[in-house]
Amino acid sequence: MDRRTLLKRSLALAAFYGLPAAPLLAATRDMPEIADGEPSDFSFEWLQRLAKEMANSSYQNNVRELPPTLANMTPQDYNAIGYDAGHSLWHDLDGKLDVQFFHVGMGFNQPVRMYALDPDSRQAREIHFDPSLFRYGKADVDVSQFEDEETLGFAGFRVFKAPSLTERDIVSFLGASYFRAVDDTYQYGISARGLAVNTFAESTKEEFPTYTRFWLETPAPDSTTFTAYALLDSPKVAGAYRFVIHCEEERVVMEIDKHLYPREAIEQLGIAPMTSMFSCGTHQRRMCDTIHPQIHDSDRLTMWRGNGEWVCRPLNNPPVLQYNAFADESPKGFGLLQTERDFEAYEDVIGNYHERPSLWVEPRNDWGKGEIQLMEIPTTGETMDNVVAFWKPREAVEPGDSLNFTYRLYWNARPPVTTDLARIRETRSGMGGFTEGWAPGEHYPEEWARRFSVDYIGGDILRIAKNGPPIMAQLKVSRGKTSDIQIFQVEEFEGIRVIFDWYPTEDSVDPIDMRMVLEGDGDTLSETWLYQYFPPPPDQREHPPHPLDD
């Protein structure tokens, strides 16, 4: 009887009796019991060569037709499939980290091959799919339909950290090249991707590269850091990735080193892509006709440009699809942030939006010239990610190129760095055209206007407002006119509030770009506020009937 057959029988008996399987060999750091493949040498250099060789040959699609019991699953059935924690990858280490695997099913029909990697010998063994690794008791799955089980593969993997080694995962890789992580709230939110290809290119459809293999290096039992290697593949590009993942007490930090080898020319290559959701917030409430004051996974795009400028761009749920690009050279960092952390801002007991992590990108090599690109898609609810941001290199991407990008991802409530200048606390908008503090009485103002309020905190801005030098709000808009710029000292949040009104001067509904920065005695006092406002059609630029009008 071979080792694989013996292992399968051990797992099957354990699953039947609800007991952990007895070890076939002494537990070692380098040989998890479920890694039953033949040993092979592994190195990151070898993985790079493999990806490059693949890029020099035609793409081989490994999407497979799943048996009906898996292909036709409902999300409820898929989520009901459990994993036997007694056979998780690093279970026998009795350490601080462990790994479980996702089952294929529904739209997850591209099998991902998994390998266990010994960090000392650099030997890798494949972990083959086995139904005995999973628990189907609560799911409507007919395992008799499974054929050629070894090639069925997995859909991805997730990582657990002590003391919650079986209940609440902290890192998840599932679907194409998507992955997520949490901070100490254990609340998932924003997602990252290994690569974006032609996300909003003009001449071609978007392509979703896929991680097709992972090598998971066994950590030391007392370590909360592990290394994963991944092979990425798609019709246009192949890639080799190394993730060094630090599962820290309050956050997860990923060090990523990726090498890309294009098969074809790529119109739009997205580096460090992130995907999030913005339905409504303080400045845009048209979709907030719910019990919740705000609904979003992220509220802003923050950029630390190569020239040192800090930029805050509040996110929108636009009336039509919007694409913006922010040119830069050698960016210092950028991210989609969830800065509002109070429960009262959302009043959501299901989504827990106040606990959603921010995601910050820190380039570690020189990314050269390019632009941070942002796409915002109209959405009618909170179930669809509608915000995408990434770095696009300026240089054309051609077949035969070898591209290398290294960076860190910080999954945390706050980014790891911040400016010493005043920061944007919040952006609000509402009816304008009247003196602040004197709401319309018997009638609304005759001229339609929109009022904007921008709050600043930090950078000692309140003390400067009190003692000087005088603060000037340098405001520019792409169209229309502004008036009544006012600056208020606000002790309640230890900052200042800048208010202004915007008036249309034409009928166009094209977005209005707004830019504002605070200055004093010629010095910059704040980060730069960028905002995009969508004026209503002319026939809607009237105030609603006043309740006191006849």
Contact status, residue 282 vs residue 499, Cβ threshold 8 Å = no
Q: Would you report the helix, strand and coil content of the chain in percent, each value rounded to 5?
A: 15, 40, 45
Residue 15's φ and ψ, nearest 5 degrees, are: -65, -35
Minimum mean pLDDT among 201-205, 316-320, 335-339, 522-526: which range?
A: 201-205
- Residue closest to 280 by CA, chosen among 291, 262, 293: 293
CA pair distance 319, 538, nearest whole angstrom: 15
C-alpha 274, offset from chain centre: 4
Give the position of tokens 């942002």: 374
- In this predicted model, what pLDDT tens digit does every residue of 504-536 receive, in sequence order? 999 999 999 999 999 999 999 999 999 999 999
Decide if pLDDT at 31 tops 70: no
CA pair distance 336, 387, nearest whole angstrom: 9
- Residue closest to 512 by CA, chosen among 459, 450, 445, 455: 450
Residue type, 56: N
Pick the residue with more confidence: 87 or 441? 87
Q: pLDDT value at position 6? A: 34
Contact status, residue 152 vs residue 111, Cβ threshold 8 Å = yes
Q: pLDDT value at position 204? A: 87
Residue type, 249: E
CA pair distance 259, 230, nearest whole angstrom: 11
Q: pLDDT value at position 434? A: 85
* Cβ density class 459-479: b for 16+ within 10 Å, e for less: bebbebbeeeeebebebebee
Question: How far is CA 369 from each of CA 88, 330, 352, rounded to the nearest angstrom?
Answer: 44, 6, 38
State what percent of residues in the chain have pLDDT above 90: 81
Contact status, residue 488 vs residue 462, Cβ threshold 8 Å = no
- In this predicted model, what pLDDT tens digit does every residue of 97-152 receive, in sequence order? 999 999 999 989 999 999 999 999 999 999 999 999 999 988 889 988 998 777 78
DSSP 490-517: EGGGTEEEEEEEEE-SSS--SPEEEEEE
Decide if pLDDT at 27 tops 60: no
Q: pLDDT value at position 70? A: 93
Contact status, residue 25 vs residue 33, Cβ threshold 8 Å = yes
Residues pairing with 303 in the sheet: 311, 334
Binned at pLDDT 50, 70 and 90, residue 285 comes out as: confident
C-alpha 61, offset from chain centre: 26
- In this predicted model, what pLDDT tens digit does every residue of 428-446 receive, in sequence order? 999 898 888 776 766 677 7
- In this predicted model, what pLDDT tens digit does every residue of 291-307 receive, in sequence order? 999 999 999 999 999 99
Minimum mean pLDDT among 128-137, 237-246, 453-462, 493-502: which range?
A: 128-137
Residues pairing with 160 in the sheet: 98, 169
Contact status, residue 59 vs residue 233, Cβ threshold 8 Å = yes
Minimum mean pLDDT among 23-32, 192-201, 317-326: which range?
A: 23-32
If one counts every other C-beta atom within 10 angstroms of the C-beta of residue 400, the result is: 10
CA pair distance 217, 236, nearest whole angstrom: 28
Give the position of tokens 């830069």: 328
- In this predicted model, what pLDDT tens digit does every residue of 51-70 receive, in sequence order? 999 999 999 998 888 999 99
Q: Output the CA angle 434-435-441, nearest 5 degrees.
A: 60
Decide if pLDDT at 28 tops 60: no
Q: What is the 3-state secondary structure (H, E, C) of 244-275?
A: EEEECCCCEEEEEEEEEEECCCECCEEEEEEE
Q: pLDDT value at position 165? A: 87
C-alpha 59, offset from chain centre: 27
Minimum mean pLDDT among 67-76, 166-175, 440-449: which range?
A: 440-449
Pick the residue with more confidence: 80 or 285? 80
Cβ-based neighbours of 146, under 8 Å, separated by 6 or more:
67, 131, 152
- Residue closest to 133 by CA, chosen among 150, 148, 119: 150
DSSP 3-state of 61:
coil
Decide if pLDDT at 540 tops 70: yes
State what percent of residues in the chain have pLDDT above 70: 93
CA pair distance 320, 408, nearest whole angstrom: 33
Mean pLDDT of 197-216: 93
Give the position of tokens 């509904």: 509
Residue 37's φ and ψ, nearest 5 degrees, are: -80, 170
- Residue closest to 231 by CA, chosen among 206, 269, 260: 260
Decide if pLDDT at 247 tops 50: yes
CA pair distance 365, 162, nearest whole angstrom: 33
Decide if pLDDT at 211 tops 70: yes
Helix spans in 22-97 (H): 44-55, 68-71, 75-80
CA pair distance 427, 143, nearest whole angstrom: 53
Residue 411 exposed, middle or buried by CB count within 10 Å (0-12, 13-18, 19+): buried
- In this predicted model, what pLDDT tens digit does every residue of 476-492 receive, in sequence order? 999 999 998 999 999 99
If one counts every other C-beta atom within 10 angstroms of the C-beta of residue 274, the result is: 25
Decide if pLDDT at 174 tops 70: yes
- In this predicted model, what pLDDT tens digit does every residue of 355-389 receive, in sequence order? 999 999 999 999 999 999 999 999 988 988 999 99
Q: Where are the beta strands (DSSP E) in 330-471?
A: 333-337, 358-363, 369-376, 387-393, 403-412, 423-431, 450-457
Residue 526's φ and ψ, nearest 5 degrees, are: -145, 165
Q: pLDDT value at position 62? A: 87
Q: Which element (helix H / strand E) includes 171?
A: strand 164-174
Q: pLDDT value at position 18? A: 34
Minimum mean pLDDT among 17-21, 399-403, 476-480, 535-539: which range?
A: 17-21
Rounded-to-10 torsion of CA 316, 321, 324, 330:
90
Give the position of tokens 């290119």: 201
Residue 258's φ and ψ, nearest 5 degrees, are: -125, 140
Question: How far is CA 384 from each of CA 21, 181, 290, 376, rounded to the nearest angstrom?
Answer: 41, 18, 17, 12
